[in-house]
Structure formats: structure tokens, C-alpha cells
Amino acid sequence: MIKMNWIMLIFTALAECHDQKGGVLSCPALCSCSSGAGVVCSQSSLIHFPVDGLPPYTTRLSIQSTKLSNVTASHLSAVPLLNNLQLYHNNLSSLPSDLLKDVPHLNTLDLTGNQLVHLPPNIFSHGSLHSLVLKNNLLEKADAEWFPDNSSLTWLDLSGNRLTSVPSALLHKLTNLEALDLSDNQLQDLQPDALKNLHRLESLNLAGNKLTSLQPTIFTHNLKLSQLFLQENQLRDLPATLLQGLQHLELLLLNQNQLQNFPTGLLDDRKSSFQIILRGNPWVCDEMMEYLWKWLTVHPQNVHFLEEVTCAGPEALKRRQVGSLTGSDLGLKVSDKEVA
């Protein structure tokens, strides 16, 4: 591997030197090129992949906001040293299964904002991808066969698609994953063992889906989790043990759900730096609110938009700030002194 890296560096240096001595920097029409091996093509009139004039030592290629509708392995073979490929906001509706076979050093692939509906098996089995962005496409199904076993991916963004589920078999292959974004899809639930192999996961975004509940042990194996985004779902209640063992959790977003109260113990043992957002839930301010009310009273500095955590019921307490209530407001048989 070290020898190969040296060969790449030497080849790149020689190619750049040759261009500079010739006085002409090779560059495709409708694109701009830098001497640092970067090429950017962002003209809306671009229709075809810009093979002609593409410097062979190119390591970064960005084709964005064009009418490009087709890209093949043959196209990419013109830039064998490519490690960063951005193909966002184009007209791509499909990709060939061998797309990446001639770019073995590709590290980052961004396909945001295309028209992709279906991807073939093994599409991401080639190369050494670490970052894959498929945001804002039309994908209705995620296929485990996209990836090899023990994929090298550390970042996967599938947000803004039409996914109703994500198979456990797909996630089980992504053992190196550190960030997973599944937001703004149509997920209704997660399989109980879906996240069990993601021991390195630090950020999980499930916002903007249709989740109504979560399994008590869904995050049991994600002990490095530091950011958890669950806002804008339809969660009605949370298991008391949901966050158990997540000692590194720094940020939890639960706003815009259907939560009425918290189970006792849910937020116990949080770090002093822990932050949470709770607004936009129909909190019912009765005796079942005791745990969350006490936690808010003791930890107001850990809650963003605390003044917007208000009661939806009963009628007498509507729109009252939860943090401003007393034990008697909640119907509790405790004195304010005991709460303090």
C-alpha cells in the first residue's frame, strides 16, 4: 500500500510538471481546473461527461448542477487516481454496477440531488469508499447487496429519500460506520437488531420519519453514540432503558413528536454537557409528568428552548411552562421544599 501511494505521488507530480512545462493546463470545456488536481464542472449547459481534456492525474472531480444524465466506468477510467467524486444536482437516474471498478482509490462519493430510484447490487463493492452521500434522491429501497461485507464506510447519508425500511442485513455490513443519516424518509420502525454491529457509531439521524416507538434495546450496542436526532417523528412514548449505557451522549433532539411524559430514569446519569430539545410535544401535566418536571427543575441549563416546553393538558394548565409548575399543579403530594 505504501509503495502504491508513492507511485501515485510520483505519477501525479510528473504529469503536473509536464503540463506546466508545456505551458498549457489540460481542462475540459465548460469546466475549470486547478494545478492542485481538482476539476469543477458547474455549467448548466453541460450534458455529457467531460472526458476530453480531463487531466489523468485528477484526484478531485465535481460535476454539479448540470444536465448530466449518464456516467459509466469507462468515463471514470480517464481519472484512475480519483479520490473525491461529487456528482450532485444533476439528472442521473441510474448507475451501472461496475461504475467504480477503475477508481480503486475513491474515498468520497456524493450523489446528492439526482433522480436515482434504484441502484444495482455491488455498486459500492469497488474501491475503498469511506464517505457515501445519496441524499435527496428517489430511492424507495435500500439493498444490502450494495455493499461488501465489512465495508470501509464511515459516513453514510441516505436522507431525503422514500425509504420505508432499512434492512438489518445492510447495516450489519457497515461495521466501521461513525455517522448514519436516515432523516426525512418514511421509516415506520427499526428492526430490533438493526444497529447491533455499529459499535463505532457516533451520530445517528432518524429525524423526519414516521417512527411511533423504539425498542428498549435498540441502542444497546452503540455505546459511542454522542448525537441522536429523533425529532419530527410520531413517537408517543419512550422506554425507560432507551439511553442506558450511552455515557457519551451529548445531544438528543426529541422535538415535534407526540410525547406526553417521560418514564422514570430516562435521563439519569447524563453528562453535565448534555443538551436536549423537547419543544413541540403535547405534554400532559399531571402526576405522570413528575419525573420530567423534576429533571427540568434541576437541569434547566441542559434544555434548549426550555420556555417552549409547555403543557397541552389538562385544560387548566394549557400553555403553562412545565418548568414553572409546582407539585400541587401536577397533583403531587409533595411540598415545593421537597422538590427543591
Q: What is the pLDDT of residues 97-109, one digit of tens each?
A: 999 999 999 999 9
Q: What is the pLDDT of residues 114-124, one digit of tens each?
A: 999 999 999 99
Q: ∠ at Cα 236 (232, 242), nearest 5°?
A: 90
Contact present, 294 and 270 (Cβ < 8 Å)? no
Q: What is the pLDDT of residue 24?
A: 54
**Mean pLDDT in residue range 22-36:** 80
Bond prior to 314 in cis (omega within 30° of 0): yes
| Per-residue pLDDT at 22 exceeds 70 | no
CA distances for 96 relative to 47, 93, 144, 296, 318, angstroms: 18, 11, 17, 53, 57
Q: What is the pLDDT of residues 150-184, one digit of tens each?
A: 899 999 999 999 999 999 999 999 999 999 999 99
Task: Give 232's DSSP letter.
Answer: S
| Per-residue pLDDT at 12 exceeds 60 | no
| Per-residue pLDDT at 11 exceeds 60 | no
Q: What is the pLDDT of residue 334?
A: 61
| Per-residue pLDDT at 243 exceeds 50 | yes
Contact present, 50 and 27 (Cβ < 8 Å)? no
Where does the pLDDT of residue 20 fall: very low under 50, low under 70, confident under 90, or very high at 90 and above? Answer: very low
Q: ∠ at Cα 281 (280, 282), nearest 5°?
A: 125
Q: What is the pLDDT of residue 17?
A: 41
Q: Taking Cα atoms as reference points, which of 186, 82, 170, 90 lies closest to residue 124?
A: 170
Mean pLDDT taken over the chain: 92
DSSP per-residue codes, 166-205:
--HHHHHT-TT--EEE--SS------TTTTTT-TT--EEE
Residues above pLDDT 90, as percent of the chain: 88
Domains and CATH numbers, the chain: 1-111 (3.80.10.10)
Grouping H, G, I as helix, E, B as strand and the rest as coil, residue 86 is strand
Total-model pTM:
0.91
Q: What is the pLDDT of residues 44-85, one digit of tens each?
A: 999 999 999 999 999 999 999 999 999 999 999 999 999 999
Question: Pick the residue with more confidence: 176 or 338?
Answer: 176
Grouping H, G, I as helix, E, B as strand and the rest as coil, residue 302 is helix
Contact present, 41 and 30 (Cβ < 8 Å)? yes
* Residue 280, all three cell numbers: 413541540
Q: What is the pLDDT of residue 140?
A: 97
Where does the pLDDT of residue 27 fall: very low under 50, low under 70, confident under 90, or very high at 90 and above? Answer: very high
Q: What is the pLDDT of residue 26?
A: 82
Where does the pLDDT of residue 35 fall: very low under 50, low under 70, confident under 90, or very high at 90 and above? Answer: confident
Where does the pLDDT of residue 317 fall: very low under 50, low under 70, confident under 90, or very high at 90 and above? Answer: very high
